[in-house]
């Protein structure tokens, strides 16, 4: 199969990209080898620390496996995987992800059952992301290795089980149930690279015998255009002389395909999950509001002689429970934390939704335009996740006495850039649907206000508390 034969005079940068996609296809064995190396590193970082005693404050990144794993998972791995989605698309999923590799490997021996309807439900990306985020905070996943083992290890076991049940040599887990699938899909919309099928070349190839391609996340190759669901594994590169790795403008998918792709669950994940819930989950430990609420409720309960909520003996897999480190959540702590995260999700998500609805109304448009406009928030939501996750990186670097003078300005620059990016996308989307400049400007001002409210949340956490 010769990938670039249908474009004999491609400019060299296009040729190079197409060649890179081809190299991924040809060197599949190397990719699989790399995946197993990552699986090995993942297993060591996941299981090793859970078998060791919880370290005290004197432990350091390079002298203690638990602190090293904490830094690797939450300080480097997760934030930079998120960043890679925006820079490269879902290469992480197709080339490096240990969970994807394991579920696909297990599915070689799958019972090959058909994928049930409940599994195809569009709400899973939101529900799985919200559930994992909330549960992770309740058991302090950023701090304790047993909590990491339950959250990440539980997800990996579920991925393997799903691989053993449904379809053969596929990634049903990644496509439907992975807790970060929806988030990755949204961020990858901004990627400047994607595998794309050329419709004319595909049609021209009809009638010729072509070996089938195993697209593990089960995508329809003929219409391949979006980077959102494609794992960029490279296996389909050159298929029918029609598919190749290509560059594109980072805004092109949201501006060009946003209306067709937009849907309710995607908007919920973006506005209530990645923005509202995630902010609550990152910032609760610094929030004076949470402390005041807890104090108020504690006094209220004591006055009424209701004392069971102060009991802190819940198991560690339900609520944080490390009495030897003086860190145990009572039922009251758990309830207030849960309420804080859900409250943040509903209040912030509600305000942003209200402002976007107003913008849509001003544009005189319907629900799909609302969802399209919501997609303009992807840069700001993604940046929020990045700066929120790297707060753990910063805490760990502080413990290592690394100078941190650059952190505040870097955060400010990242948030300002992401806000401007969102506003630019918003302006372009508003102008697609408005027939007058006044409507367009008013609708865009609603989006600007929504960005202001989101930024205020980050400013409050990073600079005011």
Distances (CA, A) of 378 to 267, 272, 275, 326, 384: 10, 12, 10, 39, 10
Give yes or no for residue 219 binding ligand SF4 (CB under 6 A).
yes
Give yes or no for residue 185 binding ligand SF4 (CB under 6 A).
no
Using CB under 6 A, which of the segments 2-10, 57-65, 212-220, 279-287 binds ligand SF4? Answer: 212-220
Give the DSSP H/E element, type plus range, for residue 247: strand 243-247
The least CB distance from residue 113 to ligand SF4, in Å, is 21
CA 35 to CA 91: how far, in whole Å? Answer: 12
CA 465 to CA 458: how far, in whole Å? Answer: 10
Please identify, using beta-carbon distances, which residue of 204 and 213 lies nearer to ligand SF4.
Answer: 213
The least CB distance from residue 111 to ligand SF4, in Å, is 23
Of positions 170, 175, 189, 235, contacts ligand SF4 by CB under 6 A = 235
Question: Would you give the binding string for ligand SF4 spanning residues 139-178, x where CB under 6 A is met?
Answer: ----------------------------------------
Give yes or no for residue 224 binding ligand SF4 (CB under 6 A).
yes
Structure tokens at 436: 């007058």
Using CB under 6 A, which of the segments 101-109, 132-140, 210-218, 318-326 binds ligand SF4? Answer: 210-218
Site residues for ligand SF4, 292-331, by CB under 6 A, read none
Distances (CA, A) of 463 to 5, 75, 298, 382, 455: 56, 21, 29, 20, 11
Distances (CA, A) of 82 to 69, 383, 384: 18, 9, 11
Cβ neighbour number for residue 407 with a 10 Å cutoff: 18
Please identify, using beta-carbon distances, which residue of 159 and 418 lies nearer to ligand SF4.
Answer: 159
CA 455 to CA 423: how far, in whole Å? Answer: 13
Give yes or no for residue 195 binding ligand SF4 (CB under 6 A).
yes
The least CB distance from residue 230 to ligand SF4, in Å, is 3
DSSP code, position 307: -
The least CB distance from residue 213 to ligand SF4, in Å, is 6
* Residue (of 277, 276, 278, 275) closest to 378 by Cα position: 275
For the chain, the maximum distance between any two Cα atoms, rounded to a whole number of angstroms, is 82
The least CB distance from residue 319 to ligand SF4, in Å, is 39
Please identify, using beta-carbon distances, which residue of 202 and 461 lies nearer to ligand SF4.
Answer: 202
Angle at 187 between CA 182 and CA 189, to 5 degrees: 100
Distances (CA, A) of 41 to 36, 87, 97, 108: 9, 24, 11, 23
The least CB distance from residue 229 to ligand SF4, in Å, is 8
Of positions 183, 230, 337, 378, contacts ligand SF4 by CB under 6 A = 230
**Secondary structure of residue 184 in the 3-state scheme:** helix
Q: Are 393 and 83 in contact (CB under 8 A)?
A: no
Give yes or no for residue 184 binding ligand SF4 (CB under 6 A).
no
Please identify, using beta-carbon distances, which residue of 235 and 439 lies nearer to ligand SF4.
Answer: 235
Using CB under 6 A, which of the segments 10-18, 174-182, 230-238, 430-438 binds ligand SF4? Answer: 230-238
Give yes or no for residue 234 binding ligand SF4 (CB under 6 A).
yes
The least CB distance from residue 233 to ligand SF4, in Å, is 4
CA 35 to CA 406: how far, in whole Å? Answer: 34
Of positions 39, 128, 180, 215, contacts ligand SF4 by CB under 6 A = 215
The least CB distance from residue 90 to ligand SF4, in Å, is 8
CA 278 to CA 267: how far, in whole Å? Answer: 15
Give the DSSP H/E element, type plus range, for residue 277: none
Give yes or no for residue 188 binding ligand SF4 (CB under 6 A).
no
The least CB distance from residue 245 to ligand SF4, in Å, is 8
C-alpha torsion angle, residues 253, 255, 259, 261 (rounded to 10): 20
Question: Would you give the binding string for ligand SF4 spanning residues 87-116, x where CB under 6 A is met?
Answer: -------x----------------------
Please identify, using beta-carbon distances, which residue of 94 and 384 lies nearer to ligand SF4.
Answer: 94
Of positions 79, 136, 163, 217, contacts ligand SF4 by CB under 6 A = 217
Question: How many chain residues are in contact with ligand SF4, going by CB under 6 A?
Answer: 15
Structure tokens at 416: 């300002």
The least CB distance from residue 31 to ligand SF4, in Å, is 11
Please identify, using beta-carbon distances, which residue of 231 and 321 lies nearer to ligand SF4.
Answer: 231
Cβ neighbour number for residue 295 with a 10 Å cutoff: 11
CA atoms within 13 A on the CB side of 223: 5
What is the contact surface with ligand SF4 in residues (CB under 6 A)? 94, 195, 213, 215, 217, 219, 221, 224, 230-236
């Amino acid at each position: 199969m010769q990938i670039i034969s249908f474009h004999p005079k491609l400019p060299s940068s296009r040729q190079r990209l197409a060649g890179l996609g081809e190299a991924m296809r040809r060197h599949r064995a190397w990719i699989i080898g790399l995946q197993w190396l990552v699986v090995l590193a993942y297993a060591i970082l996941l299981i090793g620390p859970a078998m060791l005693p919880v370290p005290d404050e004197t432990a350091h990144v390079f002298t203690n496996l638990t602190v090293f794993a904490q830094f690797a998972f939450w300080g480097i791995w997760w934030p930079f995987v998120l960043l890679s989605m925006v820079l490269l698309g879902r290469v992480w999923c197709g080339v490096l992800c240990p969970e994807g590799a394991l579920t696909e490997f297990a599915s070689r021996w799958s019972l090959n059952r058909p994928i049930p309807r409940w599994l195809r439900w569009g709400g899973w990306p939101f529900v799985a992301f919200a559930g994992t985020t909330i549960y992770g905070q309740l058991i302090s996943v950023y701090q304790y290795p047993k909590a990491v083992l339950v959250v990440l290890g539980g997800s990996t076991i579920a991925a393997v089980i799903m691989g053993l049940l449904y379809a053969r040599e596929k990634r049903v887990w990644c496509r439907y149930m992975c807790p970060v699938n929806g988030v990755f899909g949204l961020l990858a919309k901004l990627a400047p690279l994607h595998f794309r099928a050329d419709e004319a070349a595909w049609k021209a190839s009809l009638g010729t015998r072509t070996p089938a391609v195993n697209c593990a996340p089960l995508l329809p190759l003929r219409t391949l255009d979006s980077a959102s669901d494609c794992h960029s594994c490279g296996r389909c590169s050159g298929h029918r002389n029609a598919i190749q790795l290509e560059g594109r403008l980072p805004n092109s998918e949201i501006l060009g395909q946003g209306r067709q792709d937009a849907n309710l669950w995607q908007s919920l994940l973006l506005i209530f999950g990645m923005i509202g819930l995630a902010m609550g989950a990152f910032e609760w430990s610094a929030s004076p509001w949470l402390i005041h609420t807890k104090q108020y409720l504690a006094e209220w309960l004591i006055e009424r002689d209701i004392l069971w909520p102060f009991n802190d003996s819940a198991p560690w897999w339900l609520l944080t429970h490390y009495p030897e480190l003086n860190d145990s959540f009572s039922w009251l702590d758990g309830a207030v934390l849960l309420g804080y995260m859900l409250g943040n999700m509903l209040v912030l998500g509600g305000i942003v939704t209200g402002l976007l609805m107003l913008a849509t109304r001003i544009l005189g448009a319907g629900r799909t335009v609302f969802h399209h406009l919501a997609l303009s928030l992807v840069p700001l939501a993604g940046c929020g996740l990045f700066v929120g996750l790297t707060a753990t990186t910063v805490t760990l670097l502080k413990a290592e006495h690394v100078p941190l003078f650059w952190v505040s300005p870097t955060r400010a620059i990242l948030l300002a850039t992401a806000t401007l990016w969102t506003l630019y996308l918003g302006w372009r989307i508003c102008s697609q649907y408005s027939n007058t400049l006044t409507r367009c400007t008013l609708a865009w001002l609603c989006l600007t206000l929504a960005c202001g409210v989101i930024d205020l949340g980050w400013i409050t956490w990073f600079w005011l508390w």
